[in-house]
């Protein structure tokens, strides 16, 4: 077995099977530009796909409002999908700590109250 297979890394240097969204690398878990592009593509893709479905149903049933409902449903679905992938949550930067940080204190005493 090669070293690449044992270490769990793919050929591109990224961890395989991390469960992150497409376009967001495992090394850059804070998102940034790639996460923004993923959110943008989820929302725009949802709008396009569900608008086309609504347009088809409008032509089939002779109505005019289902394309708008499809666009709204696609936008909401795209935002929901990006939220469920963890792309829209706010994260602390490396230098800042919040009051709810867990782990040992600065002096190493984990029993401090």
Label residue 78 by pLDDT band (50, 70, 90). very high
Q: Is the dihedral of CA 34, 75, 49, 18 positive or negative?
A: positive
CA dihedral 50, 51, 54, 55 (to 10 degrees): -140
Residue 58: the pLDDT is 95
Q: Is the dihedral of CA 37, 39, 43, 45 positive or negative?
A: positive
What confidence score (pLDDT) does residue 80 get? 94
| Mean pLDDT across 62-88 | 93
pLDDT for 16-70, tens place per residue? 445 555 555 556 555 588 888 999 999 999 999 999 999 999 999 999 999 999 9
Write down the domain spans for the chain.
31-88
Compare 77 and 3 and report the one with higher pLDDT. 77
Q: What is the mean pLDDT of the chain?
A: 74
Distance from C-alpha of 62 to C-alpha of 22, rounded to nearest angstrom: 38
- Give me the phi and psi of 9, to 5 degrees please: -100, 145
Please, which residues bridge with residue 9 across strands?
15
């Amino acid at each position: 077995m090669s070293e690449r297979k044992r270490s769990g890394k793919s050929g591109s240097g990224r961890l395989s099977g991390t469960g992150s969204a497409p376009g967001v690398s495992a090394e850059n878990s804070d998102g940034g530009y790639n996460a923004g592009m993923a959110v943008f593509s989820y929302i725009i893709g949802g709008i396009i796909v569900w608008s086309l479905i609504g347009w088809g149903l409008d032509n089939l049933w002779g109505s005019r409002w289902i394309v708008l409902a499809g666009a709204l449903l696609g936008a909401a679905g795209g935002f929901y999908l990006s939220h469920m992938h963890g792309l829209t949550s706010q994260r602390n930067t490396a230098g800042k700590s919040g009051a709810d940080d867990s782990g040992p204190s600065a002096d190493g005493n984990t029993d401090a109250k």
